[in-house]
Amino acid sequence: MWFSKTQEEVLRELGVDRATGLSSEEAKARLEKYGRNKLKGKPKKSLAALFFDQLKDMLIYVLLGAALITMIIGEYVDAVIILLVVVLNAIIGVVQEYKAEKAIEALQQMTTPKALVRRDGQVKEVNSEEVVPGDIVIIDAGRYIPADLRLIDSANLQIEESALTGESVPSDKDAEAIFDDPKTGIGDRSNMAFMSTLATYGRGEGVVVATAMDTEIGKIAKILDEDNEEMTPLQKRLDELGRILGFIAIGICVLIFVISLFQKRDLFEMFLTAISLAVAAIPEGLAAIVAIVLALGVQRMSKINAIVKKLPAVETLGSVNIICSDKTGTLTQNKMTVVKYYTLNNLKDVPAEGSNFSASQDEAELIKTFVLCSDATYENGQGTGDPTEVALVVLGNRYNLEKNELNSKHQRVAEKPFDSDRKLMSTLNVEGNGYRVHTKGAIDNILKISTHALVNGKRVPLTEEMKANYLKSADEMSDNALRVLGAAYKDTDSMISPEEMEKDLTVIGFVGMIDPPRLEVKDSIRVAKMAGITPVMITGDHKNTAVAIAKELGIADSIDQSITGAEIDQLSDEEFSKKINSLRVFARVSPEHKVKIVRAFKAQGNIVSMTGDGVNDAPSLKYADIGVAMGITGTDVSKGASDMILTDDNFTTIVHAIEEGRNIYNNIKKSVIFLLSCNLGEVITIFASILFFWPVPLMPTQILWINLITDTLPAIALGVDPGDSDIMKKKPRNPKESFFAKGAGLRAIIGGVLIGALTLLAFFFGLREHGYTLGSENIPEEVLIYARTMSFVVLAASQLFYSLTMRNPVKSIFRIGLFSNKYLIGAIVVGIFLQLMVISVPFLAGAFNLHNLSLNDWGIVILLALIPLAANEIIKIFMRKTERD
């Protein structure tokens, strides 16, 4: 039992040195031996299984039944065609599902947590799947524990183990504890940390004792079944729509069959026609197309650094009208440099370049406290850790107060970690024969807990006047967009507990550091505003600093648009919510204020995206419509709670993601409207011909064939249409807006009616050429075949052409570029080619009952097929005109 052994025994048994960790070679060898550190998921479906899955569909059963009947009757050709359609449909389904699944898998790969391990004497970040037994793992607040660990170091470490024990209150950990009782429960093993649990506070280190299925969680979850196939609101709505349309289609088919019964038509043929029409009209492709468009869209978004974790987020993104963004690192570069420092009545600039500066006594104390109270490192031009602290360590280097030297002289014996509520951090270090508390943090908070000040090497009582002087200088720095950080200390004879550290301190002074805005953010903010989106800044930093940067970036115009966390606390929820639409900067806020901010914005009917990186940000990320986590600086907790992760932590990426989200939604809409127009066209053709006692212009196999050509490739190609360049000049979409709003539904109907009418017209032309009309009796078979070929071409080609005009509801196809969607052009070319093939290859023409057309008739059918496209373009002209007026 690892928890009964001493740290040394454990380390020895696992063959690892705590200071250097495993060597890379050893880690590699162990990875081979023990396998990747992951819990086994559901076994993947084979291609064959996927294929047969596709066949488990009501429509397919119907088709198979139809094939059987045709076979019994002896219509072998028809049977073969029907079976072919079934197989092709299944293949297309498999390809779509496979692609969608691959896209999702690739995303999951990107979101697997990382682990900090010590290898070859250095701390490295590795994929948590590559952690092996014997690895030394470094734990800090907000990280998932990557494997089962025996702790070898802990500082205020708390771990939330609800995944394992169901207990949601974090348990305190203690690396020094040893439990002799082998029956010690999992929840009581305070010297252990377990895979998939979450460090919520403090720091620690542990050595990996078990990975993958050997871990405690692995033992529980022998097979982890993580099915998060969440349907998006749109998918749900379309699913419903599909079902309704399906019933309507079946109703119409039954009606057609019944009417033709009374008309004494050929029963068998009408039966097949009804079935084929049902297959063509039921929009069973809807769900598949939406799924694949979403999956492909999500894949594309990952390439622009936005990883969408939950599919519904793609849709919601298009409606976002408030982006709440953290300042540090998201709007700014998070590359801090100390440029000024202040000890009482003594403001100095840090020279821009050079080192080996000397500091006065007070200044040296100031820098020493900052350096000792930092976890960051800076070696060979490389900093690790919190950039705020890196800047402090760099400052120390330049003034000959090296971190390593100071640390060996003043060993750290205890600490109270930084948290964004207190905005303070403290350490207890050895000082002479006693100890000294070093505290750094927001200067206002430092002054609140200080009773004395260090002035010219002497501790003097802190007067109100001195406080005012400190604050005045700090405000001046803040007004110049500097991040201000104060320092204080206190001496004690004995060790004290973290609770007693932060009181009765002696303030030393503060520093001001620059954190330049990200260059591209200013443009993105302009784009966002043009798109009807309001960016707001959220920060733990000082109000003046925040407003100065917000002004520079174009987020705010004046300090009246800002509020602090303390001021928020003064307001009732209602008052705050009334005021919120005029606010742009939220300063000195804590994570719980973020929840208030989101709630207030939402109460005003806004769709809110909120960024976050810390452990405490999880609630606000969950509560926001779009929770955005930081990929680089973000904790695992925040990533877990988010809908989207920015791999570059950049504000600009949020705006890009919104743009993509809007495009994806529009593309889905285009595909769906297109599909519905096509299906409607087919239904109208058949239904009208039956209703008016005409011969049916299309054979069942022909209907199936056209459905296959138009329902698949063009619809998907529309789904991956290149984005509209003007998409960010429009207001965000109202999430309640129906899919068929703004004339989209009407347009689907007009398109469908036209397609149907023209197909009938082509049939009529074909008959008339041979001296018959729609009402004629005893039309010879050859004439019917010829006329049917004409309607066959018109029905297919008009749909193919129509897909082009569907690319934009108002812009003309020439404006958006006739050839700018290569996939769509490809789909149309393939469609036409296949169409020509079945008409002109004698064997196929025979099977499908088609006959090649005269040149003249080719001209007629092509002209007819262009009409729906032309009509929609004309409607667009009127739309543009009314839009302008």
Q: Which residues are catalytic?
A: 326
Residue 328 binding Mg ion, by CB under 5 A: yes
Contact letters (x/-) for Mg ion, 197-226, by CB under 5 A? ------------------------------
Q: Which is nearer to Mg ion, 539 or 805 (CB)?
A: 539
Residue 340 binding ligand ADP, by CB under 6 A: no
Residue nearest to ligand ADP (CB): 540
Cα torsion for 44, 48, 50, 51, to the nearest 10°?
A: 170
Say which residues have a Cβ less than 8 Å from residue 426's Cβ, sequence separation at least 6. Answer: 373, 415, 416, 437, 438, 439, 440, 498, 501, 502
Residue 539 binding ligand ADP, by CB under 6 A: yes
Least Cβ distance, residue 523 to Mg ion (angstroms): 24
CA dist., res. 836 & res. 827, Å (int): 14
Least Cβ distance, residue 417 to ligand ADP (angstroms): 9
Which one among 130, 365, 386, 660 touches ligand ADP, defined by CB under 6 A? 386
Which one among 10, 27, 66, 425 touches ligand ADP, defined by CB under 6 A? 425
Which one among 202, 441, 627, 681 touches ligand ADP, defined by CB under 6 A? 441
Answer yes or no: are the C-beta atoms of 791 and 685 closer than 8 Å: yes
The H helix count followed by the E strand count for the chain is 32, 26
Q: Which is nearer to ligand ADP, 141 or 758 (CB)?
A: 141
Candidates 119-127, 407-415, 539-547, 624-632: pick the segment binding ligand ADP (CB under 6 A). 539-547
CA dist., res. 722 & res. 701, Å (int): 34
Q: What are phi and psi of 281, to 5 degrees?
A: -85, -30
Q: Which residues are registered as beta bridge partners of 495?
A: none
Least Cβ distance, residue 356 to ligand ADP (angstroms): 26
Total residues interacting with Mg ion, rule: CB under 5 A: 1
Candidates 164-172, 293-301, 417-425, 796-804: pick the segment binding ligand ADP (CB under 6 A). 417-425
Residue 388 binding ligand ADP, by CB under 6 A: yes
Q: Is the dihedral of CA 753, 758, 763, 764 positive or negative?
A: positive
Q: Which of residues 300-339 bind ligand ADP (CB under 6 A)?
A: 326-328
Answer yes or no: are the C-beta atoms of 378 and 389 closer than 8 Å: no
For residue 227, how many other CB atoms are within 10 A of its CB? 7
Q: DSSP characters for 731-787?
A: PPPPTT--TTTTTHHHHHHHHHHHHHHHHHHHHHHHHHHTT--TT-SS--HHHHHHH
Candidates 50-58, 155-163, 317-325, 327-335: pick the segment binding Mg ion (CB under 5 A). 327-335
DSSP state for residue 624 in the 8-state scheme: S
Q: Which of residues 474-493 bind ligand ADP (CB under 6 A)?
A: 483, 485
CA dist., res. 636 & res. 531, Å (int): 32
CA dist., res. 326 & res. 251, Å (int): 55
Q: Give Cα 471 distance to the centre of its chain.
A: 42
Say which residues have a Cβ less than 8 Å from residue 204's Cβ, sequence separation at least 6. Answer: 138, 139, 140, 151, 153, 154, 155, 157, 173, 175, 193
Residue nearest to Mg ion (CB): 328
Candidates 23-31, 282-290, 324-332, 465-473: pick the segment binding Mg ion (CB under 5 A). 324-332
Residue 620 binding ligand ADP, by CB under 6 A: no
Kindly give the pairing relationship between strand 148-160 and strand 171-172: antiparallel
Question: Which partner, Mg ion, ligand ADP, none, binds residue 539 by CB below 5 to 8 Å per kind?
Answer: ligand ADP
Which one among 75, 363, 541, 617 touches ligand ADP, defined by CB under 6 A? 541
Candidates 328-336, 440-448, 643-651, 856-864: pick the segment binding Mg ion (CB under 5 A). 328-336
Say which residues have a Cβ less than 8 Å from residue 68's Cβ, sequence separation at least 6. Answer: 79
Answer yes or no: are the C-beta atoms of 510 and 486 closer than 8 Å: yes
Residue 440 binding ligand ADP, by CB under 6 A: yes
Contact letters (x/-) for ligand ADP, 491-530, by CB under 6 A? ----------------------------------------
Which one among 86, 301, 442, 598 touches ligand ADP, defined by CB under 6 A? 442
CA dist., res. 202 & res. 425, Å (int): 11
Least Cβ distance, residue 376 to ligand ADP (angstroms): 8
Q: Which is nearer to ligand ADP, 242 or 441 (CB)?
A: 441
Which positions lie near ligand ADP, rule CB under 6 A? 326-328, 386, 388-389, 418, 420, 423-425, 440-442, 483, 485, 539-542
Which positions lie near Mg ion, rule CB under 5 A? 328
